[in-house]
Amino acid sequence: MRNTLTQRITRSRRRWSIVAVIVVASGVALSASVAQGRVDPVSTSTAVAAMSPDTVAIVTGGGTVIVGESPMNVVASFGVNARRPDGFAGGGVASGRVSYTEHANVNTRHLNAPVVLMEAAMSANPSPNGTGGSAAMSADCTAPAECPSGFASAIVYVEDNSDSGANNDVFKIFFCTLSPFLPGPTFNGSTAPASCVGPEGNTLRSGNIQVRQTITGSGVNVPTAARAPLRLP
């Protein structure tokens, strides 16, 4: 009788030990998941608001994008620094510069021109760095600007979707035969405005773009983008 009772108590203790192990293991897994969520938060903030030429904004960035050119894709590097601070004239008047170079021997391989107009939209859900949004900038190809032959201006469209930049942010460029102009509040870079060709570029291969409203400093310098390989691996 005593042996039977002892066996029952032993089996009961084993069952409770197994349950305790399962509960502890689940607690550890949950804690790890929660901890991971705190350490690596999602930081994307795609802009959806309509752009305005009256928005106070500054756009900076540099990096590389992939451009489709027959018979192969090529890498292009870019740098952009444009601003429309409080107090600027209406109509989207802006200052800054944009640089773009395709690393292949094609007709649209290089541009270095001043930004004269800009419209922007700030993200309703800024990233942890407090940045995010979209912008369209118009660059003037009047000499001494460096632009592809036959074009009078260029429109650059950017999106600041994440602090990480690469594989999230967007850079697109359009080459236009008309003098500098803004494409309008609903422009999203998907199709070329009238009188323009493009886009060239898309999601960033490397680098980063920032769209923000804090205006600091007085100089406007184009960030230097890293030299890109002539051919894709």
Cβ neighbourhood burial of 197 (10 Å; 0-12, 13-18, 19+): middle
Task: Tokens for 79, please give them.
Answer: 């740098």
Global pTM reads 0.74
129/135 Cα distance (integer angstroms) = 18
79/63 Cα distance (integer angstroms) = 7
226/158 Cα distance (integer angstroms) = 19
The model's pLDDT over 129-177, given as tens digits with 9 standing for 90+, comes to: 889 999 999 999 999 999 999 999 999 999 999 999 999 999 999 999 9
The model's pLDDT over 12-70, given as tens digits with 9 standing for 90+, comes to: 444 444 434 443 344 433 333 333 332 233 334 445 579 999 999 999 999 999 998 87
